Structure 1
Amino acid sequence: MNTTPLIDGAVPLSDWGVIRAHGADAASFLHSQLTNDFALMGLSQARLAGYCSAKGRLLASFVAWKVAHDELLLACHASVLAATLKRLSMFVLRAKCKLSDASSELRLFGVAGPSARALAGDAAVWQKLDANGANVVRLPDAAGHARALWAAADATPALPALGLDAWHWLEVQSGVPVIEAATSEQFVPQMLNFELVGGVNFQKGCYPGQEIVARSHYRGTIKRRMFLFDVDAPATAGQEVFHSADPGQPAGMVANAAPRPDGVGSSALVEIKLAALDGGSIHLGTADGAPLTRRELPYAVTDGAG
């Protein structure tokens, strides 16, 4: 039985920002740089996408959507926005695309529970709607709660107030990772199940790191994956975790974490060696730190680790 308390309402996403891509080549430029398809993206669609280094490591992750045929918005964690904008801008070259920080021009809200369901209606996940001057992106459900991203220039959703910790907990429960500064360049997309949640298109053309990402996919060489854990201690992105059988070196890293609604410890998305799941115990921060208890993700994980 699901004992999760009802989470309902909207919260300003103070830890997120927005990059605007504008111009005739905006979609094609992003298509050449990010892990997902933007060439065939429609005005009623959104995308989860990653931006990789040449070594295939995620520098940032985005929820992206089209405002117009020549304008796209990319919402990302604020801690990686400036560096990502600077790096992307270096590769625009002759493309008719202008990139800018639109964070001060747009209000981003996370909406959850009955409020999200009422706002998004029967929209499919990663569908974009226009509602009273706002863009609404339907996000994957989490812990039985509907979720949506709400963005507008001069409006605020008339919905109950939601706590930011509750929203962060739902982000973790969704199993969709968010790259923060503490985890930038740490993970190949598959280590965070990015392709399992729709963040990678293996049929599209080249982008930075594409050969490494594709090789990991087609050769089945991934030995690390992301799983959901609870721990009776505060957890933060970038913290290492250790396995009892090999306490001298980390077995993985926390990708995202949030306080649990019951006030006891944290829930965390943890990237970890698959071999560490075979037995023994996993601990937060140090070899004798708080033990982690594995929970179920809302999707199956491949490579024999489901």
Structure 2
Amino acid sequence: MTPPLFQGVTPPLATLGVIRADGPDAAAFLHGQLTQDFLLLKDDAARLAALCSPKGRMLASFIAWRQAPEQFLLVCAQDLLAPTLKRLSMFVLRAKVKLVDATAEHAVRGLAGAAIAAAGADPAATPGQRQATADGATVVALHGCEGVPRALWVAPAGHAAPQGNELAADAWAWSEVRSGVVPISAPVVDAFVPQMLNYESVGGVSFKKGCYPGQEVVARSQFRGTLKRRGYVVTAPAPLAAGQEVFAAADADQPVGTVAAAAPAPDGQGWAAFVSLQTAALAAGGLRVGEVALDVQPLPYPLLEDL
């Protein structure tokens, strides 16, 4: 059952930053660099997307949308914003697009439960739906957490906060983990192909668009049925951290997975984590991080079958 503390509005989320892309070529540039289709992105939609290395490994992830006809906002992990901005800027070349760190210009908060309606948005919106509120904020529907709707609220810095109970940042992090959709952060840069975190199953990869760095590896993993690692939600009685290795009881020396994100439960009863695991390791059982035993939970969404 969802802890009652998981309702309300978070403070500004210091773990998130904002990149702004301006210019007539902004859509085409992002389309050619990230895993999503930005050329066909509608004004009422947002996209989960990843920036990959040539080997198909995720270097950053984003929730992105068209803020104006020639402007996009990309929300990403704050600890990756500077290197991500630097890497993307290397490929601008002659494209008519300007990329800037716009974090200081925006307030980013999480909304859960009744706070979404209080902010002027529809709590029943499907994940990826973008709504512009009457007071000038943007609300992006996210995957829910155990029946509680969730959304990202983004507004100009200094904008009045939405009405609602205060929701702790740790509780929001827990909800991200339990939703099964987690962002890439510094401890796990270059560790996962998108499918290892189920990004293809939650709308984070388009297989119909053109090329982008790592596209061949990502597509080959999907179409040739070579997916051997997937993301899973687990619970644990003790603290966990992104980047820690997961082991199975059958082999204490060879890791079978990696913790992608972790957070304490709002009620103080243990921790939740999202881990990328070898699918064969689930049958082996006895999963641990150090001495901490892991209990695998059902995924909150179906996995896309290999194509």
| Same topology, TM > 0.5 | yes
Contact 2:118 2:164 in 1 (8 A): no
Counterparts of 1:109 and 1:159, CA distance in 2: 12
Q: Deviations over 1:35-90 (max 9, x none)?
A: 01100001111000000001000000100011111000000010111000000000
Matched with 1:7 is 6
Q: Which region of structure 1 is more displaced relative to structure 2, 7-16 or 183-192?
A: 7-16
Matched with 1:130 is 132
Matched with 2:149 is 146
Matched with 1:58 is 58
Matched with 1:299 is 301
How far is the alpha carbon of 1:157 from its aligned partner? 2.0
Contact 2:200 2:304 in 1 (8 A): no
1:227 aligned counterpart, secondary structure: strand
Contact 1:183 1:255 in 2 (8 A): yes
2:18 aligned counterpart, secondary structure: strand
2:105 aligned counterpart, secondary structure: coil
CA pair 140-36 structure 1, distance change in 2 beyond 3 A: same
How far is the alpha carbon of 1:226 from its aligned partner? 0.7
Counterparts of 2:276 and 2:52, CA distance in 1: 17
Q: Deviations over 1:237-259 (max 9, x none)?
A: 11111111111121110001110
How far is the alpha carbon of 1:3 from its aligned partner? 5.1
1:104 aligned counterpart, secondary structure: helix
Contact 1:177 1:194 in 2 (8 A): no
Counterparts of 2:90 and 2:181, CA distance in 1: 28
What is the letter of the counterpart of residue 296 of structure 1?
P
Matched with 1:90 is 90
TM-score with structure 1 length normalisation?
0.95
Matched with 1:42 is 42
Counterparts of 1:301 and 1:160, CA distance in 2: 34
Give the alignment partner of residue 171 of structure 1, picking from 141, 156, 176.
Answer: 176
How far is the alpha carbon of 1:261 from its aligned partner? 2.2
Counterparts of 1:260 and 1:70, CA distance in 2: 40
CA pair 165-221 structure 1, distance change in 2 beyond 3 A: same
How far is the alpha carbon of 1:118 from its aligned partner? 4.4
What is the letter of the counterpart of residue 298 of structure 2?
E
1:86 aligned counterpart, secondary structure: helix
Contact 1:233 1:264 in 2 (8 A): no
- Structure 1 unpaired stretches of 5+: none
Counterparts of 2:188 and 2:88, CA distance in 1: 18
Matched with 2:68 is 68
Q: Which region of structure 1 is more displaced relative to structure 2, 98-107 or 240-249?
A: 240-249
Counterparts of 2:2 and 2:144, CA distance in 1: 16
How does 1:108-123 map onto structure 2 within 5 Å?
Answer: 108-119=108-119, 120-121=121-122, 122-123=124-125
Counterparts of 1:291 and 1:117, CA distance in 2: 39
What is the letter of the counterpart of residue 126 of structure 2?
A
What is the letter of the counterpart of residue 111 of structure 2?
V
Q: Which region of structure 1 is more displaced relative to structure 2, 134-143 or 294-303?
A: 294-303
What CA RMSD, in Å, does the superposition of the two structures yield over aligned residues? 1.3
How far is the alpha carbon of 1:265 from its aligned partner? 2.1
The aligned length equals 300
How far is the alpha carbon of 1:91 from its aligned partner? 0.1
Give the alignment partner of residue 210 of structure 2, picking from 205, 210, 218.
Answer: 205
Matched with 1:256 is 261
Contact 2:27 2:70 in 1 (8 A): yes
- Structure 2 unpaired stretches of 5+: none
TM-score with structure 2 length normalisation?
0.95
Aligned identity (percent) is 52
